[in-house]
Amino acid sequence: MGNQLILRKADFFPRQGQAVAVADRYPQNVFAEHTHEFYELVLVWRGNGLHILNDRPYRITRGDLFYIRAEDKHSYASVNDLVLQNIIYCPDRLTLNLDWAAHIPGLNDVDRTPHWRLGSTGMTQARQVITQLEQESAKTDALANSMAEALFAQLVMTLHRHRFTADNQAATHSEALLDKLITALSGSLNRAFILERFCEQEQCSERTLRQQFRTQTGMTINNYLRQLRICHAQYLLQHSDLMIGEVAMRCGFEDSNYFSVVFTRETGMTPSQWRQRRNEAA
């Protein structure tokens, strides 16, 4: 790791041997790349930011959920009123006889999907459990650790029940309008997204939806979609041999020249420079 920043158990768990704790980020500021001596669940409540996990950029906002392992390296950049909570835990300290790996993706390096989303229902239920967990993990009586672990088990199962992949539009049929919109945007990286058509289908006011989106995320709908596409382009440039024109098409840009202009404006580098720099770093 070299000079990699490592977050230590002793600095984040109030009691020795404690299995679970809650670390609030109100707001989450820019945070340098780091790893941990513990695992964490990251839930985003509002605002937006750039979450870079194992060199992959994610534009995050309300409803995003991440499962982070100790060895994962991640950082936060370009944050705007980003509010999230980290539920930190040490798998080796968990004592309940529960199949934790069945509910926590990647715990045993199997089913490694670190990024998920929660709709409004799941967020409400998770927040209630986290509030109780935060209170219990701060206590010092003999039952505090066991109570906190039981609440953590309830949380990971609640997340398992309500989570869905970012682009799974079918998963939000019963969710709130904003959840449907964010999921629809995530599923539109390689094709045009027409807000008017979405509003017709959902029978909602475009003006009201735009206002609601900006209030919750701190971004306009167009800016959010553009950021999602740029993040996807960064990933493809680094992890594929696709020509830049093909990357542009897969990220919803019909004109590769326009793609290069937008990419350069957003990242400070041309697509070619980004690919070269990232390949050299690897």
Confidence (pTM): 0.89
**Taking the domains of the chain in order of start, what are their residue ranges?**
5-164, 175-282
Give the per-residue pLDDT at 97: 93
pLDDT at 186 over 50: yes
Q: Average pLDDT, whole number, for the chain?
A: 90
Structure tokens at 251: 């990220």
Query: What is the second-level CATH architecture of the domain 5-164?
Result: Sandwich (2.60)
* Coil/strand/helix, residue 198: helix
**CB-based contacts of 24: which residues, under 8 Å, 6+ apart?**
85, 86, 134
With contact defined as beta carbons under 8 Å apart, do 112 and 53 qualify?
A: no
Q: What is the pLDDT of residue 171?
A: 58
Lowest-pLDDT range of 37-51, 120-134, 167-181, 247-261 = 167-181
Q: How confident is the model at residue 140 (pLDDT cuts 50, 70, 90)?
A: confident
Residue 38 has pLDDT above 60, yes or no: yes
**Looking at residue 26, what is its pLDDT?**
67
DSSP 93: G
The Cα 229–Cα 252 span in angstroms is 7
Question: Once rounded to an integer, what is the mean pLDDT over residues 45-68?
Answer: 94
What percentage of the chain exceeds 90 in pLDDT? 68
Q: What is the pLDDT of residue 1?
A: 42
Determine the Cα–Cα distance for residues 114 and 53; give it in Å rounded to an integer: 9
What's the pLDDT score for residue 16?
A: 84
Whole-number pLDDT of residue 259: 95
Q: Determine the pLDDT at residue 80.
A: 86
Model confidence band, residue 174 (pLDDT cutoffs 50, 70, 90): low
Confidence label for 277 from pLDDT (cuts 50, 70 and 90): confident
Cβ neighbours of residue 213 under 8 Å, at least 6 residues apart? 178, 181, 219, 220, 221, 224
Comparing 28 with 166, which gets the higher pLDDT? 166
Residue 28: per-residue pLDDT: 66
Residue 256 confidence (pLDDT): 92
Name the CATH superfamily, with its identifier, for domain 175-282.
Answer: Homeodomain-like (1.10.10.60)
Confidence band for 78, pLDDT divided at 50, 70 and 90: confident
pLDDT band at 198 (very low <50, low <70, confident <90, very high): very high
Average pLDDT value for residue range 210-215: 92
Q: How far apart are CA 257 and CA 255, in angstroms?
A: 5
